Structure 1
Amino acid sequence: MEPGFWKLPFAAVTWRRWAYVITGALLAPVLVPATLLGLGTGVERARSRWVRDDRPTRRPGWWRGAVYALVNLPLSLALGMFFGYLTTLWFYWVAYPVLFWNADLSVGTWGGPTWIGAVALHMAPAPVMLFVGPWLLRQAARLHTGLVRRLLG
Structure 2
Amino acid sequence: MRSPQPDAGGRLSRSSTSRPGFLGTDAWRQMLHALISLPIAFVGFVLIVVTVSISTVLSLTVVGALLIIPTFALTRLLTRIERARARRLLGLDVSEPRRARPAGAPWRRVRIRWQDRQSWRDVGFLLLHLPLALLSFLAAVSLVYFFVRGASYPFQAAGDPSYYEKAWGGPTYLGAVAVHSSPALIVLISGPAILRAVTGLQARAIRTLIGSRPYSTADHRLDARRVTTVDTR
Query: Which band: TM-score by shorter chain?
Result: 0.7 to 0.9
Equivalent of 1:110 in 157, 168, 174 = 168
Q: CA RMSD in A?
A: 2.0
Displacement of 1:59 in angstroms is 5.0
Q: Percent identity?
A: 29
State the shift of 1:49 in Å. 0.5
Say whether the 8 Å CA contact 1:34–1:40 is kept in structure 2: no
CA shift, 1:14, in A, is: 1.1
Partner residue in 2 for 1:21? 34
Alignment pair present for 1:147 and 2:160: no
- For normalisation by structure 1, the TM-score amounts to 0.87
Q: Which amino acid aligns with 1:52?
A: G
Question: Counterpart of 1:40?
Answer: 78
Q: Which runs of 5+ in 1 are unaligned?
A: none
How many Å separate the matches in 1 of 2:192 and 2:46? 32
Distance 1:2 1:135, change over 3 A: farther
- 1:127 correspondence with 2:185: yes
The equivalences for 1:45-56 within 5 A come to: 45-50=83-88, 51-56=90-95
Q: Which deviates further from its counterpart, 22-31 or 51-60?
A: 51-60
Q: For the structure 1 residues 115 and 96, does the alpha-carbon distance in structure 2 shift closer, same or farther, using more than 3 Å as the test?
A: same
- Equivalent position SS for 2:168: coil
**Which gives a bigger RCO, structure 1 or 2 (Cα 8 Å, sep 6+)?**
1
Q: Identify the match of residue 96 of structure 1 among 153, 164, 172.
A: 153
1:58 to 2:117 alignment? no
SS of equivalent to 1:111: coil
* C-alpha distance in structure 2 between counterparts of 1:19 and 1:3, whole Å: 21
How far apart, CA to CA, are the structure 2 residues paired with 1:8 and 1:76? 22
The 1-side partners of 2:151 and 2:125 are apart by 38
Corresponding residue number in structure 1 for 2:63: none
Q: 2:144 aligns with which of 84, 87, 98?
A: 87
Q: Are residue 137 (structure 1) and residue 195 (structure 2) matched?
A: yes
Work out whether residues 59 and 152 of structure 1, in 8 Å CA contact, stay in contact via their aligned partners in 2.
Answer: no
| 1:77 to partner: Cα distance | 0.9
Structure 1 SS opposite 2:169: coil
Length-normalised TM-score, structure 2? 0.59
**SS in structure 2 opposite 1:49?**
helix
Shift of 1:41: 1.0
Cα displacement (A) at 1:43: 0.9
Distance in 2, matches of 1:2 and 1:31, equals 35
The 3 A distance-change label for structure 1 pair 2 and 18 is: farther
Structure 1 residue aligned with 2:24: 11
